[in-house]
Structure 1
Amino acid sequence: MQANEWSFEDGYCRIRTARQRKRARIKDFHKYLRRMHKEEKRLDELKYRMPLQPLARPYQKGWLRTFVLRPDVATSRQAAFYQELLNKINTVEYSNDKKFRIKKRKWKRKKVWVDKPQYLREYSERWFFSRDCKLTEQEKLLFHREERTHKHTKEVSIYYVFSERWRFILKVKPRIITHIKMVDGTLDGKIQRMENRITTHHLRHQMNRQMNGRTYHYLSRAPWPPDPFKQRSLTDILSEVYNDQQQ
């Protein structure tokens, strides 16, 4: 008698089939992955919220570069308006070199020193028109629309860029470290053991798939070439082949 054919009268017990036991194991494994993800997230949050401790002797660690108002803009009537806008779109770059240079490969695999570029903050189309965007309607008028094509996926993305870049200039300042984040050895040990467990058993991919639905590399999203025979009848295709042979 098969397990699923047993009756539920007195003297009998319900026995799970092999398929039910396998499904239960998979379900328990998925619960285990969710618990690990939740615990990892909790430990990372605790480490992020560790308080800062002031240093007795601050020290310099490299240089930082940021945007500031031009002298003529800073003395104009609209200085307060552009300063408030700059606080929202400003960016910061760090470097050990005061000249902010990087090596870039040129023709014939030669590397040369070039100036490191720095841009103001740009907004995607979705973020630009969302409620979370902190730009006012008057500030949004100073942005223009740009379309950019990804070199791998060939997808077109829309960004909104500040039009009057000339109002700001770059300023280099020393990067002074005045505070340091406190370290908890017990917490770091728990995070490292969690990472070792995930790495050793190759669980990262399955955790991402369980939490986010699927995982993929951006190169896998490259579109397939168009099919020339799609939505065409066999008669039309054979006729076209026959005409090409005749020519």
Structure 2
Amino acid sequence: MENDNLLSSRLRSVRSRKRTSRKDVEKQIRKKYKRSKELWNIRRNIPLIPLDKPYQRGFVRFFVVREDVMRTKDGDFFDGILKKINIYMYSESRQFLKKKRKFGRRIYVEREQKLSRISSYSWNDPKLGLTPRERQYFLKLEEYWPVRKRYDTYYEFIEPWRFILRIRPNMITHYKPVDFELEKEYAELESYLGQHKVSGIIHKTMHGKPNPWKMKYKSDKTGSTKYFHYKMSATAIAENLQDL
């Protein structure tokens, strides 16, 4: 009798076995996710090696402070702002052209280049390091994104005339060595972690965030347009009956 009780106590239920199996899978995913982040940092921090013979690869276009502005007492001040909002554009030729379809045929037009906008998140980021005086030269704007169906806030420099575009040859002076074993391992991990079920487990268990799609499309009777119209119609009918 005692042996039977001991044997039954050691037997695990189906629910317990499933929970243990699920935890083992999550542990393996966490381990691979952590290893992927380590490899990403290793790849990023690989030091550059200078080339014996630098070579040119197209052209680069960027903004510089105008000479008349640079000669003023605020030249260094605007140069500091430019370092935070400058944009570099690369092209195979000096024209910086792009294809565009017009009246059924493709034509080449010049690529537009503007100063970088500062997002609302980066506006208060200490890494950007905007000083109170520098903030006075930015204007807060909002733009509606039809895809996201919301307004995004950004900050734009109000005096872009202080900068002009400059084109220079794009010289390649350094290269980053490639570790094939490291790249192979990183590619395998990214392929595994990019699977739909695996990415869902990472999003739910590691990041601790609910599924935004379920929250967005969750049915809400009180917030539906149909319910709103029915409610207003019933109210209007009740008011009309009281008037009678």
2:196 and 2:126 map into 1 onto residues whose CA distance is 42
1:24 is matched with which residue: 20, 24, 29? Answer: 20
Deviations 1:91-144 (A, max 9, x none): 111111211111123454x33212112221211223323444411101110111
Deviations 1:50-74 (A, max 9, x none): 1111111110111111100112112
How much does 1:154 deviate? 2.4
How much does 1:9 deviate? 6.9
Give the alignment of 1:214-229 within 5 angstroms.
227-229=225-227
In structure 2, relative to structure 1, the CA distance for the partners of 1:73 and 1:226 (3 Å cut) is farther
How much does 1:78 deviate? 1.4
Q: In the comparison of the two structures, how many residue pairs are matched? A: 231
* Aligned residues of 2:84 and 2:128 also touching (Cα < 8 A): no
Q: Which residue of 2 aligns with 1:3?
A: none
Q: Does 1:61 align with 2:27?
A: no
* Aligned residues of 1:73 and 1:79 also touching (Cα < 8 A): yes
Amino acid at match of 2:121: R
Instruction: Please report the RMSD computed on the Cα atoms of aligned residues, expressed in angstroms.
Output: 3.3
Aligned to 1:203, the other structure's residue is in SS state helix
1:155 and 1:199 map into 2 onto residues whose CA distance is 28
1:92 is matched with which residue: 88, 92, 113? Answer: 88
Structure 2: gaps spanning 5 or more residues = 239-244
Q: Does 1:135 align with 2:135?
A: no
Amino acid at match of 2:77: F
* Aligned residues of 2:62 and 2:87 also touching (Cα < 8 A): yes
**Farther off after superposition, 191-200 or 71-80:** 191-200
* Aligned residues of 1:63 and 1:175 also touching (Cα < 8 A): yes
Amino acid at match of 2:34: K
Q: Which residue of 1 aligns with 2:77?
A: 81
- Normalised to the residue count of structure 1, the TM-score between the two structures is 0.79
Between the two proteins, what is the percent identity of the paired residues? 30
Q: Does 1:40 align with 2:20?
A: no
Structure 1: gaps spanning 5 or more residues = 1-5, 241-247
Deviations 1:127-167 (A, max 9, x none): 32344441110111011111100022320111110000000
* Aligned residues of 2:100 and 2:108 also touching (Cα < 8 A): yes
